[in-house]
Structure 1
Amino acid sequence: MFAFYENHRENEPFRRMDIQNFHFPNHLHKETEIVCVTSGICILKIEQQEYQLTEGMIAIIFPHCVHSYYSTFDYQATIHLIDSSFLSDYESLLTAYCPKNPIFDSSYEMKNLLAQIKALDSTDDYRQYYLQKALWHLIFAQFIQVFELRKRQSEKLSLTHQILTYIDTHYREPISAADIALAVHSNVYTVSKIFANKIGMSLPLYLAHLRISYAKQQLETTTLSILEIALQAGFETQRSFNRHFLQQTNLTPSAYRSKYLIH
Protein backbone atom coordinates (compact mmCIF):
# COMPACT_ATOMS: atom_id res chain seq x y z
CA MET A 1 0.00 0.00 0.00
CA PHE A 2 1.16 3.52 -0.71
CA ALA A 3 2.83 5.23 2.26
CA PHE A 4 2.03 8.39 4.21
CA TYR A 5 4.82 10.94 4.41
CA GLU A 6 6.71 8.30 2.47
CA ASN A 7 10.06 8.26 4.09
CA HIS A 8 10.65 4.93 2.37
CA ARG A 9 12.65 2.71 4.65
CA GLU A 10 13.04 -0.09 2.14
CA ASN A 11 15.92 1.85 0.56
CA GLU A 12 14.82 0.68 -2.88
CA PRO A 13 15.96 2.71 -5.89
CA PHE A 14 12.58 2.28 -7.58
CA ARG A 15 9.14 0.88 -6.77
CA ARG A 16 5.92 0.38 -8.71
CA MET A 17 2.38 0.21 -7.29
CA ASP A 18 -0.98 -0.29 -8.96
CA ILE A 19 -3.71 1.73 -7.26
CA GLN A 20 -7.49 1.92 -7.55
CA ASN A 21 -9.67 4.82 -6.34
CA PHE A 22 -6.72 5.95 -4.21
CA HIS A 23 -7.37 8.84 -1.82
CA PHE A 24 -4.56 10.35 0.19
CA PRO A 25 -4.01 13.73 1.88
CA ASN A 26 -1.12 16.11 1.31
CA HIS A 27 2.25 14.45 1.73
CA LEU A 28 5.76 14.62 0.29
CA HIS A 29 8.84 12.45 -0.09
CA LYS A 30 12.38 12.45 -1.40
CA GLU A 31 11.57 10.26 -4.43
CA THR A 32 10.41 11.40 -7.84
CA GLU A 33 6.89 10.12 -8.44
CA ILE A 34 5.34 9.28 -11.81
CA VAL A 35 1.60 8.64 -12.04
CA CYS A 36 0.12 6.90 -15.10
CA VAL A 37 -3.69 6.78 -15.25
CA THR A 38 -4.96 3.64 -16.97
CA SER A 39 -8.71 4.26 -16.60
CA GLY A 40 -11.18 6.74 -15.12
CA ILE A 41 -10.47 10.21 -13.73
CA CYS A 42 -7.94 10.98 -10.98
CA ILE A 43 -7.66 14.34 -9.24
CA LEU A 44 -4.06 15.12 -8.32
CA LYS A 45 -3.10 18.22 -6.35
CA ILE A 46 0.53 19.36 -6.49
CA GLU A 47 1.70 22.40 -4.52
CA GLN A 48 -1.79 23.92 -4.28
CA GLN A 49 -2.50 23.39 -7.99
CA GLU A 50 -5.20 20.86 -8.92
CA TYR A 51 -4.97 18.68 -12.04
CA GLN A 52 -7.46 16.26 -13.60
CA LEU A 53 -5.88 13.17 -15.13
CA THR A 54 -7.79 10.94 -17.51
CA GLU A 55 -6.90 7.66 -19.20
CA GLY A 56 -3.48 7.77 -20.87
CA MET A 57 -2.27 10.87 -19.01
CA ILE A 58 0.93 11.01 -16.98
CA ALA A 59 1.98 13.30 -14.13
CA ILE A 60 5.45 13.75 -12.69
CA ILE A 61 5.99 14.95 -9.12
CA PHE A 62 9.48 16.16 -8.29
CA PRO A 63 11.06 15.38 -4.88
CA HIS A 64 9.80 17.27 -1.80
CA CYS A 65 6.69 18.62 -3.52
CA VAL A 66 3.52 18.46 -1.42
CA HIS A 67 0.79 16.52 -3.25
CA SER A 68 -2.45 14.61 -2.67
CA TYR A 69 -4.85 12.23 -4.47
CA TYR A 70 -8.62 12.08 -4.59
CA SER A 71 -11.43 11.55 -7.05
CA THR A 72 -15.20 11.51 -7.13
CA PHE A 73 -14.95 8.98 -9.98
CA ASP A 74 -13.58 5.46 -10.21
CA TYR A 75 -10.04 5.29 -11.56
CA GLN A 76 -7.02 3.03 -11.82
CA ALA A 77 -3.41 4.13 -12.10
CA THR A 78 0.18 3.01 -11.71
CA ILE A 79 2.58 4.90 -9.46
CA HIS A 80 6.34 4.73 -9.97
CA LEU A 81 8.68 5.98 -7.23
CA ILE A 82 12.30 6.56 -8.23
CA ASP A 83 15.03 7.57 -5.81
CA SER A 84 16.77 10.74 -6.98
CA SER A 85 20.23 9.26 -6.41
CA PHE A 86 19.28 6.50 -8.86
CA LEU A 87 18.78 9.26 -11.45
CA SER A 88 22.21 10.70 -10.80
CA ASP A 89 22.38 12.66 -14.06
CA TYR A 90 19.16 14.50 -13.15
CA GLU A 91 19.47 14.73 -9.35
CA SER A 92 20.47 18.40 -9.15
CA LEU A 93 17.77 19.36 -11.64
CA LEU A 94 15.08 17.44 -9.74
CA THR A 95 15.86 19.18 -6.46
CA ALA A 96 16.30 22.72 -7.81
CA TYR A 97 13.43 22.89 -10.33
CA CYS A 98 9.90 21.68 -10.93
CA PRO A 99 7.71 21.59 -14.05
CA LYS A 100 5.45 24.54 -14.78
CA ASN A 101 2.89 22.01 -15.97
CA PRO A 102 3.56 18.45 -14.70
CA ILE A 103 0.78 16.80 -16.72
CA PHE A 104 0.95 15.47 -20.28
CA ASP A 105 -0.52 12.84 -22.61
CA SER A 106 1.76 9.85 -22.93
CA SER A 107 3.26 9.16 -26.32
CA TYR A 108 3.63 5.74 -27.92
CA GLU A 109 7.35 5.79 -27.08
CA MET A 110 6.66 6.66 -23.44
CA LYS A 111 4.06 3.91 -23.10
CA ASN A 112 6.50 1.43 -24.60
CA LEU A 113 9.28 2.41 -22.16
CA LEU A 114 6.94 2.17 -19.16
CA ALA A 115 5.71 -1.21 -20.37
CA GLN A 116 9.32 -2.41 -20.42
CA ILE A 117 9.76 -1.11 -16.86
CA LYS A 118 6.67 -3.05 -15.78
CA ALA A 119 7.91 -6.23 -17.44
CA LEU A 120 11.18 -6.01 -15.53
CA ASP A 121 9.47 -5.68 -12.15
CA SER A 122 8.75 -9.39 -11.95
CA THR A 123 12.29 -10.39 -12.89
CA ASP A 124 14.81 -11.58 -10.28
CA ASP A 125 17.77 -11.29 -12.64
CA TYR A 126 20.50 -9.08 -11.09
CA ARG A 127 20.78 -7.27 -14.43
CA GLN A 128 17.32 -5.77 -13.82
CA TYR A 129 18.89 -2.92 -11.85
CA TYR A 130 20.99 -1.80 -14.81
CA LEU A 131 18.16 -2.25 -17.29
CA GLN A 132 15.82 -0.24 -15.07
CA LYS A 133 18.38 2.51 -14.72
CA ALA A 134 18.91 2.73 -18.47
CA LEU A 135 15.16 2.83 -19.13
CA TRP A 136 14.49 5.50 -16.50
CA HIS A 137 17.24 7.68 -17.94
CA LEU A 138 15.62 7.34 -21.38
CA ILE A 139 12.25 8.25 -19.89
CA PHE A 140 13.62 11.31 -18.14
CA ALA A 141 15.39 12.40 -21.29
CA GLN A 142 11.92 12.52 -22.88
CA PHE A 143 10.50 14.37 -19.89
CA ILE A 144 13.10 17.10 -20.29
CA GLN A 145 11.97 17.61 -23.87
CA VAL A 146 8.32 17.95 -22.80
CA PHE A 147 8.48 20.05 -19.64
CA GLU A 148 9.25 23.71 -19.12
CA LEU A 149 10.99 23.98 -15.77
CA ARG A 150 10.97 26.75 -13.18
CA LYS A 151 13.26 27.44 -10.28
CA ARG A 152 11.63 26.64 -6.97
CA GLN A 153 12.15 27.40 -3.34
CA SER A 154 13.91 24.61 -1.51
CA GLU A 155 11.45 22.21 0.12
CA LYS A 156 14.10 19.91 1.43
CA LEU A 157 14.80 21.81 4.62
CA SER A 158 11.49 23.65 4.89
CA LEU A 159 9.47 23.62 8.08
CA THR A 160 6.70 21.71 6.30
CA HIS A 161 9.17 18.99 5.39
CA GLN A 162 10.49 18.81 8.96
CA ILE A 163 6.98 18.56 10.39
CA LEU A 164 5.85 15.80 8.03
CA THR A 165 9.07 13.88 8.55
CA TYR A 166 8.58 14.00 12.32
CA ILE A 167 4.97 12.85 11.98
CA ASP A 168 6.00 9.99 9.70
CA THR A 169 8.23 8.68 12.49
CA HIS A 170 5.79 9.23 15.37
CA TYR A 171 2.23 9.07 13.99
CA ARG A 172 1.51 5.78 15.78
CA GLU A 173 2.28 7.48 19.10
CA PRO A 174 0.06 9.95 21.01
CA ILE A 175 1.50 13.18 19.58
CA SER A 176 0.16 16.73 19.67
CA ALA A 177 0.87 20.03 17.94
CA ALA A 178 2.95 20.98 20.99
CA ASP A 179 5.11 17.84 20.61
CA ILE A 180 5.68 18.64 16.94
CA ALA A 181 6.46 22.30 17.60
CA LEU A 182 9.03 21.32 20.20
CA ALA A 183 10.65 18.78 17.87
CA VAL A 184 11.03 21.26 14.98
CA HIS A 185 11.92 24.24 17.17
CA SER A 186 8.79 26.16 16.29
CA ASN A 187 5.49 26.96 18.04
CA VAL A 188 1.96 25.56 18.09
CA TYR A 189 0.53 28.52 16.17
CA THR A 190 2.98 28.04 13.27
CA VAL A 191 2.40 24.28 13.16
CA SER A 192 -1.39 24.78 13.08
CA LYS A 193 -1.05 27.44 10.39
CA ILE A 194 1.02 25.12 8.19
CA PHE A 195 -1.62 22.41 8.48
CA ALA A 196 -4.38 24.86 7.61
CA ASN A 197 -2.60 26.57 4.70
CA LYS A 198 -0.08 24.05 3.37
CA ILE A 199 -1.42 20.62 4.26
CA GLY A 200 -5.06 21.57 3.88
CA MET A 201 -6.46 19.73 6.90
CA SER A 202 -6.19 19.69 10.68
CA LEU A 203 -3.46 17.76 12.48
CA PRO A 204 -5.93 15.27 14.06
CA LEU A 205 -7.46 14.49 10.68
CA TYR A 206 -4.04 14.09 9.06
CA LEU A 207 -2.96 11.71 11.82
CA ALA A 208 -6.19 9.75 11.36
CA HIS A 209 -5.42 9.32 7.64
CA LEU A 210 -1.95 7.98 8.38
CA ARG A 211 -3.21 5.65 11.07
CA ILE A 212 -6.03 4.30 8.92
CA SER A 213 -3.58 3.70 6.06
CA TYR A 214 -1.40 1.67 8.41
CA ALA A 215 -4.44 -0.19 9.76
CA LYS A 216 -5.66 -1.06 6.26
CA GLN A 217 -2.31 -2.64 5.48
CA GLN A 218 -2.48 -4.68 8.69
CA LEU A 219 -6.05 -5.79 7.96
CA GLU A 220 -4.98 -6.89 4.48
CA THR A 221 -1.89 -8.82 5.49
CA THR A 222 -2.16 -10.00 9.13
CA THR A 223 -4.53 -11.92 11.39
CA LEU A 224 -4.16 -9.52 14.32
CA SER A 225 -7.41 -8.64 16.06
CA ILE A 226 -9.09 -5.37 15.14
CA LEU A 227 -8.43 -4.01 18.64
CA GLU A 228 -4.71 -4.88 18.36
CA ILE A 229 -4.50 -3.15 14.99
CA ALA A 230 -6.36 -0.09 16.27
CA LEU A 231 -3.98 0.32 19.21
CA GLN A 232 -0.88 -0.35 17.08
CA ALA A 233 -2.04 2.28 14.58
CA GLY A 234 -2.18 4.90 17.32
CA PHE A 235 -5.88 5.07 18.20
CA GLU A 236 -6.75 5.25 21.89
CA THR A 237 -9.95 3.21 21.54
CA GLN A 238 -11.47 0.79 19.06
CA ARG A 239 -14.57 2.98 18.94
CA SER A 240 -12.53 5.94 17.65
CA PHE A 241 -10.77 3.66 15.18
CA ASN A 242 -14.05 2.26 13.87
CA ARG A 243 -15.49 5.75 13.40
CA HIS A 244 -12.51 7.06 11.42
CA PHE A 245 -12.25 3.85 9.41
CA LEU A 246 -15.88 4.05 8.36
CA GLN A 247 -15.52 7.74 7.47
CA GLN A 248 -12.53 7.08 5.21
CA THR A 249 -13.51 3.78 3.57
CA ASN A 250 -17.31 3.52 3.91
CA LEU A 251 -16.64 0.07 5.38
CA THR A 252 -16.23 -1.29 8.88
CA PRO A 253 -12.80 -2.80 9.65
CA SER A 254 -14.37 -6.28 9.66
CA ALA A 255 -15.99 -5.74 6.26
CA TYR A 256 -12.74 -4.37 4.86
CA ARG A 257 -10.79 -7.38 6.11
CA SER A 258 -13.34 -9.78 4.59
CA LYS A 259 -12.94 -8.05 1.24
CA TYR A 260 -9.17 -7.57 1.11
CA LEU A 261 -7.46 -10.07 3.41
CA ILE A 262 -5.10 -12.28 1.43
CA HIS A 263 -5.58 -15.93 2.41
Structure 2
Amino acid sequence: MFPVYEEKKKNLHVHLRTSAHASPHLHNSIEFIYITEGTLELGMGQELFHMEEGDFAVIFPDVIHHYQVFSQGENKAVYLWAKPALAGQFADVIQSSCPQNPVIKKENVHRDIVNAVSCLRVSRKEPDSSLVIEQAYVQILLARSIPCFRLMEKSSVESNDIIYQTVSYIARHFRNEVSLEKMARDLGISKFTLSRVFSGTFHRNFNQFLNEQRLNYVTVHLECTDDSITDICMNAGFESQRTFNRVFRERYRMTPREYRNLYREKYLREELT
Protein backbone atom coordinates (compact mmCIF):
# COMPACT_ATOMS: atom_id res chain seq x y z
CA MET A 1 0.00 0.00 0.00
CA PHE A 2 1.25 3.46 -0.86
CA PRO A 3 2.38 5.13 2.41
CA VAL A 4 1.26 8.62 3.39
CA TYR A 5 3.67 11.29 4.63
CA GLU A 6 2.21 13.21 7.58
CA GLU A 7 3.67 16.47 8.82
CA LYS A 8 3.02 17.25 12.47
CA LYS A 9 2.74 21.02 12.87
CA LYS A 10 3.16 21.37 16.65
CA ASN A 11 6.20 20.52 18.76
CA LEU A 12 4.12 18.07 20.77
CA HIS A 13 0.78 16.29 20.33
CA VAL A 14 -0.68 14.11 23.10
CA HIS A 15 -3.92 12.14 22.70
CA LEU A 16 -5.68 9.33 24.52
CA ARG A 17 -7.65 7.64 21.75
CA THR A 18 -9.33 4.43 20.73
CA SER A 19 -6.87 2.39 18.70
CA ALA A 20 -7.87 1.67 15.12
CA HIS A 21 -6.45 0.39 11.87
CA ALA A 22 -4.06 2.90 10.26
CA SER A 23 -2.54 2.38 6.83
CA PRO A 24 1.23 2.66 6.28
CA HIS A 25 2.49 6.18 6.96
CA LEU A 26 5.53 8.08 8.15
CA HIS A 27 6.09 11.51 9.61
CA ASN A 28 8.70 13.98 10.82
CA SER A 29 8.13 13.38 14.54
CA ILE A 30 9.05 10.82 17.19
CA GLU A 31 5.98 8.76 18.04
CA PHE A 32 5.41 7.21 21.47
CA ILE A 33 2.59 4.73 22.12
CA TYR A 34 1.52 3.60 25.60
CA ILE A 35 -1.25 0.99 25.69
CA THR A 36 -3.87 1.68 28.37
CA GLU A 37 -6.51 -0.90 27.38
CA GLY A 38 -6.69 -3.88 25.07
CA THR A 39 -4.12 -4.59 22.38
CA LEU A 40 -2.52 -3.14 19.26
CA GLU A 41 -0.53 -4.67 16.42
CA LEU A 42 2.24 -2.28 15.41
CA GLY A 43 3.75 -2.85 11.99
CA MET A 44 7.21 -1.57 11.09
CA GLY A 45 9.04 -2.55 7.93
CA GLN A 46 8.09 -6.15 7.21
CA GLU A 47 7.39 -7.04 10.87
CA LEU A 48 4.26 -6.91 13.04
CA PHE A 49 4.75 -6.40 16.80
CA HIS A 50 2.04 -7.31 19.33
CA MET A 51 1.31 -4.81 22.12
CA GLU A 52 -0.79 -5.29 25.24
CA GLU A 53 -1.85 -3.10 28.17
CA GLY A 54 1.18 -1.47 29.78
CA ASP A 55 3.47 -1.96 26.76
CA PHE A 56 5.32 1.04 25.33
CA ALA A 57 6.68 1.66 21.83
CA VAL A 58 8.81 4.30 20.13
CA ILE A 59 8.80 4.95 16.38
CA PHE A 60 11.64 7.16 15.22
CA PRO A 61 11.01 9.90 12.63
CA ASP A 62 10.68 8.96 8.95
CA VAL A 63 10.10 5.24 9.52
CA ILE A 64 7.12 3.64 7.75
CA HIS A 65 4.69 2.03 10.20
CA HIS A 66 1.05 1.05 10.53
CA TYR A 67 -1.46 -0.20 13.12
CA GLN A 68 -3.93 -3.06 13.21
CA VAL A 69 -6.49 -3.94 15.88
CA PHE A 70 -7.81 -7.50 16.15
CA SER A 71 -9.10 -7.86 19.72
CA GLN A 72 -12.68 -7.16 20.73
CA GLY A 73 -13.73 -4.67 23.41
CA GLU A 74 -11.94 -1.47 24.38
CA ASN A 75 -8.56 -0.87 22.75
CA LYS A 76 -7.04 2.44 23.83
CA ALA A 77 -3.61 4.01 23.97
CA VAL A 78 -1.89 7.30 24.65
CA TYR A 79 -0.29 8.52 21.41
CA LEU A 80 2.41 11.20 21.63
CA TRP A 81 4.16 12.87 18.73
CA ALA A 82 7.22 15.02 19.49
CA LYS A 83 9.29 17.04 17.03
CA PRO A 84 13.02 16.08 16.87
CA ALA A 85 13.84 19.52 18.33
CA LEU A 86 12.59 18.20 21.68
CA ALA A 87 15.01 15.25 21.58
CA GLY A 88 18.08 17.20 22.72
CA GLN A 89 21.15 14.99 23.00
CA PHE A 90 19.26 12.09 21.37
CA ALA A 91 18.63 13.98 18.12
CA ASP A 92 21.51 12.39 16.19
CA VAL A 93 20.48 8.88 17.27
CA ILE A 94 16.86 9.21 16.18
CA GLN A 95 17.92 10.85 12.91
CA SER A 96 20.18 8.03 11.73
CA SER A 97 18.83 4.86 13.33
CA CYS A 98 15.72 3.06 14.54
CA PRO A 99 14.91 0.09 16.82
CA GLN A 100 14.84 -3.40 15.38
CA ASN A 101 11.89 -4.02 17.72
CA PRO A 102 10.18 -0.77 18.79
CA VAL A 103 8.12 -2.36 21.60
CA ILE A 104 9.09 -2.51 25.28
CA LYS A 105 6.99 -5.03 27.19
CA LYS A 106 5.18 -3.94 30.36
CA GLU A 107 7.58 -5.67 32.74
CA ASN A 108 10.50 -3.75 31.24
CA VAL A 109 8.83 -0.32 31.03
CA HIS A 110 10.58 1.95 33.51
CA ARG A 111 8.32 3.79 35.96
CA ASP A 112 9.84 7.07 34.71
CA ILE A 113 8.24 6.36 31.32
CA VAL A 114 4.79 5.89 32.85
CA ASN A 115 5.24 9.05 34.93
CA ALA A 116 6.45 11.11 31.94
CA VAL A 117 3.49 10.00 29.80
CA SER A 118 1.09 10.96 32.60
CA CYS A 119 2.76 14.34 33.16
CA LEU A 120 2.75 15.18 29.45
CA ARG A 121 -0.97 14.42 29.26
CA VAL A 122 -1.58 16.86 32.12
CA SER A 123 0.79 19.56 30.84
CA ARG A 124 -0.90 19.73 27.43
CA LYS A 125 -4.18 20.67 29.11
CA GLU A 126 -2.64 23.62 30.95
CA PRO A 127 -2.63 27.02 29.18
CA ASP A 128 0.81 27.91 30.58
CA SER A 129 2.38 24.62 29.55
CA SER A 130 6.17 24.94 29.51
CA LEU A 131 8.18 24.01 26.42
CA VAL A 132 11.22 23.32 28.61
CA ILE A 133 9.26 20.94 30.85
CA GLU A 134 7.81 19.14 27.82
CA GLN A 135 11.29 18.83 26.35
CA ALA A 136 12.54 17.35 29.63
CA TYR A 137 9.79 14.71 29.70
CA VAL A 138 10.37 13.77 26.06
CA GLN A 139 14.06 13.29 26.80
CA ILE A 140 13.18 11.13 29.83
CA LEU A 141 11.10 8.92 27.52
CA LEU A 142 14.06 8.58 25.16
CA ALA A 143 16.63 8.13 27.94
CA ARG A 144 14.64 5.28 29.50
CA SER A 145 13.65 3.59 26.24
CA ILE A 146 16.68 3.79 23.92
CA PRO A 147 18.86 1.52 26.14
CA CYS A 148 16.16 -1.16 25.80
CA PHE A 149 16.48 -1.24 22.01
CA ARG A 150 18.85 -2.87 19.60
CA LEU A 151 19.34 -0.08 17.07
CA MET A 152 19.95 -0.43 13.35
CA GLU A 153 20.51 1.99 10.49
CA LYS A 154 17.26 3.36 9.09
CA SER A 155 18.47 2.45 5.61
CA SER A 156 18.33 -1.25 6.57
CA VAL A 157 14.53 -1.12 7.05
CA GLU A 158 13.69 -2.69 3.71
CA SER A 159 11.38 -0.71 1.46
CA ASN A 160 11.35 -0.02 -2.25
CA ASP A 161 8.81 2.76 -1.77
CA ILE A 162 9.95 6.04 -3.31
CA ILE A 163 8.61 8.17 -0.42
CA TYR A 164 10.51 6.16 2.16
CA GLN A 165 13.65 6.18 0.01
CA THR A 166 13.36 9.95 -0.31
CA VAL A 167 13.10 10.76 3.40
CA SER A 168 15.69 8.12 4.26
CA TYR A 169 18.15 9.56 1.74
CA ILE A 170 17.72 13.12 3.05
CA ALA A 171 18.06 11.92 6.65
CA ARG A 172 21.41 10.30 5.80
CA HIS A 173 22.81 13.03 3.54
CA PHE A 174 21.40 16.42 4.61
CA ARG A 175 24.71 17.38 6.25
CA ASN A 176 26.57 16.81 2.99
CA GLU A 177 26.56 18.60 -0.34
CA VAL A 178 23.50 17.21 -2.10
CA SER A 179 21.44 18.21 -5.13
CA LEU A 180 18.22 17.01 -6.72
CA GLU A 181 20.23 15.66 -9.67
CA LYS A 182 22.68 13.73 -7.45
CA MET A 183 19.89 12.34 -5.30
CA ALA A 184 17.90 11.20 -8.34
CA ARG A 185 21.01 9.55 -9.77
CA ASP A 186 21.79 7.75 -6.49
CA LEU A 187 18.21 6.51 -6.18
CA GLY A 188 18.06 5.46 -9.82
CA ILE A 189 15.08 7.59 -10.79
CA SER A 190 14.61 10.67 -12.96
CA LYS A 191 14.91 14.09 -11.36
CA PHE A 192 11.47 14.95 -12.74
CA THR A 193 9.90 12.00 -10.92
CA LEU A 194 11.74 12.97 -7.75
CA SER A 195 10.67 16.58 -8.10
CA ARG A 196 7.03 15.47 -8.31
CA VAL A 197 7.45 13.49 -5.07
CA PHE A 198 8.55 16.63 -3.25
CA SER A 199 5.81 18.84 -4.69
CA GLY A 200 3.01 16.25 -4.62
CA THR A 201 3.73 14.47 -1.32
CA PHE A 202 5.66 16.95 0.81
CA HIS A 203 4.11 20.08 -0.74
CA ARG A 204 7.46 21.84 -1.00
CA ASN A 205 10.38 21.71 -3.40
CA PHE A 206 13.65 19.85 -2.91
CA ASN A 207 15.58 22.79 -1.46
CA GLN A 208 12.80 23.68 0.98
CA PHE A 209 12.58 20.11 2.27
CA LEU A 210 16.36 19.81 2.54
CA ASN A 211 16.70 23.11 4.40
CA GLU A 212 13.96 22.10 6.86
CA GLN A 213 15.94 19.00 7.82
CA ARG A 214 19.04 21.12 8.25
CA LEU A 215 17.17 23.66 10.38
CA ASN A 216 15.87 20.88 12.62
CA TYR A 217 19.50 19.95 13.25
CA VAL A 218 20.43 23.59 13.84
CA THR A 219 17.73 24.36 16.41
CA VAL A 220 18.63 21.30 18.50
CA HIS A 221 22.27 22.38 18.62
CA LEU A 222 21.43 26.03 19.29
CA GLU A 223 19.34 24.95 22.27
CA CYS A 224 21.43 22.12 23.66
CA THR A 225 25.09 22.98 22.96
CA ASP A 226 27.53 25.86 23.25
CA ASP A 227 28.88 25.24 19.74
CA SER A 228 29.49 28.37 17.72
CA ILE A 229 26.75 29.37 15.30
CA THR A 230 29.24 29.17 12.44
CA ASP A 231 30.17 25.58 13.32
CA ILE A 232 26.52 24.58 13.68
CA CYS A 233 25.71 26.15 10.33
CA MET A 234 28.52 24.33 8.51
CA ASN A 235 27.90 21.01 10.29
CA ALA A 236 24.24 21.18 9.23
CA GLY A 237 25.30 21.26 5.57
CA PHE A 238 24.66 24.88 4.61
CA GLU A 239 27.01 26.05 1.88
CA SER A 240 27.50 29.51 3.42
CA GLN A 241 26.55 31.43 6.53
CA ARG A 242 24.78 33.98 4.36
CA THR A 243 22.44 31.32 2.96
CA PHE A 244 21.97 29.88 6.42
CA ASN A 245 21.05 33.25 7.95
CA ARG A 246 18.54 33.95 5.17
CA VAL A 247 16.84 30.54 5.45
CA PHE A 248 16.80 30.69 9.24
CA ARG A 249 15.24 34.15 9.31
CA GLU A 250 12.59 33.15 6.74
CA ARG A 251 11.43 30.29 8.97
CA TYR A 252 11.84 31.73 12.48
CA ARG A 253 11.56 35.50 11.87
CA MET A 254 14.74 36.11 13.90
CA THR A 255 18.48 35.51 13.69
CA PRO A 256 20.10 32.32 15.05
CA ARG A 257 21.69 34.34 17.87
CA GLU A 258 18.33 35.84 18.82
CA TYR A 259 16.79 32.35 18.76
CA ARG A 260 19.48 30.96 21.09
CA ASN A 261 19.24 33.92 23.48
CA LEU A 262 15.44 33.75 23.53
CA TYR A 263 15.49 30.04 24.33
CA ARG A 264 18.05 30.44 27.10
CA GLU A 265 16.25 33.41 28.63
CA LYS A 266 13.01 31.43 28.68
CA TYR A 267 14.79 28.41 30.18
CA LEU A 268 16.37 30.57 32.89
CA ARG A 269 13.04 32.21 33.77
CA GLU A 270 11.38 28.82 34.17
CA GLU A 271 14.27 27.53 36.27
CA LEU A 272 13.86 30.47 38.65
CA THR A 273 10.08 30.12 39.04
Q: Secondary structure of 1:93's match?
A: helix
Taking only the aligned residue pairs, the percentage that are identical comes to 20
**Residue identity in the other structure for 1:153:** S
**How many angstroms apart in 1 are the aligned matches of 2:40 and 2:28?**
23
Deviation per residue, 1:112-149 (Å, 9 max, x gap): 121111111111115x2111111111221111222221
Match of 1:80 in 2: 80
Instruction: Give 3-state SS (helix, strand or coil) of 1:5's partner.
Output: strand
Whole-angstrom distance in 1 between the partners of 2:145 and 2:50: 19
Matching residue of 2:150: 148
The 4+ residue runs of structure 1 with deviation greater than 3 A are: 161-164
Q: Is the 8 A contact 1:43 1:70 kept in 2?
A: yes
5+ residue gaps in structure 1? 165-180, 187-263
> What's the counterpart of residue 43 of structure 1?
41
- 1:29 aligned partner: 27
On the 8 A contact 2:112/2:141 being kept in 1, the answer is: no
Q: Secondary structure at the match of 2:38?
A: strand
Partner of 1:55: 53
Q: Structure 2: how far apart are the matches of 1:138 and 1:26?
A: 28
Letter in 2 for 1:13: N
CA distance in 2, matches of 1:46, 1:77: 18
- Rounded to whole Å, the distance in 2 between the matches of 1:28 and 1:152 is 13
Q: Distance in 1 between matches of 2:119 and 2:143?
A: 16
Does structure 2 conserve the Cα–Cα contact (< 8 Å) formed by 1:96 and 1:154?
no
The structure-2 alpha-carbon separation of the partners of 1:47 and 1:38, relative to structure 1 and needing over 3 Å to count, comes to same
Question: 1:78: how far off?
Answer: 1.1
Of the three residues 101, 107, 114, the one matched with 1:111 is 114
| Cα displacement string for residues 201-224 of structure 1 (whole angstroms, at most 9, x for unaligned residues) | xxxxxxxxxxxxxxxxxxxxxxxx
Structure 2 match to 1:136: 138
In 2, distance between residues paired with 1:87 and 1:95?
10
- Shift of residue 111 of structure 1? 0.8
Give TM-score scaled by structure 2 length: 0.54
SS of 1:28's partner is strand
Partner Cα separation in structure 2 for residue 45 and residue 18 of structure 1: 20
1:21 Cα deviation (Å)? 3.3
- Mean Cα deviation higher: 108-117 or 64-73: 108-117
Residues of 2 paired with 1:161 and 1:28: CA distance? 8
SS of the residue 1:184 aligns to: helix
Residues 21, 141 of structure 1: CA spacing in aligned structure 2 closer, same or farther, 3 A cutoff?
closer
The residue identity in structure 2 corresponding to 1:71 is V
Structure 1 counterpart SS, 2:6: coil
Residue in structure 1 matched with residue 15 of structure 2 by the alignment: 17
Unaligned regions of 5+ residues in structure 2, if any? 168-190, 197-273
CA contact (8 A) 1:162 1:184 kept: no
Deviations 1:23-48 (A, max 9, x none): 11101011110111111111110111
2: CA distance between counterparts of 1:159 and 1:143? 30
- The residue matched to 2:163 in structure 1 has which SS? helix
* Match of residue 89 from structure 1: 89
User: What SS does the corresponding residue of 1:113 show, helix, strand or coil?
Assistant: helix
Distance in structure 2 (CA, Å) of the matches to 1:94 and 1:153? 13
Q: What root-mean-square deviation, in Å, do the aligned CA atoms of Structure 1 and Structure 2 show? A: 2.7
**Is the Cα contact below 8 Å between 1:46 and 1:68 reproduced in 2?**
yes
SS of 2:135 mapped into structure 1: helix
How far off is 1:162 after superposition? 7.0
CA distance in structure 1 between the partners assigned to 2:120 and 2:18 by the alignment: 20
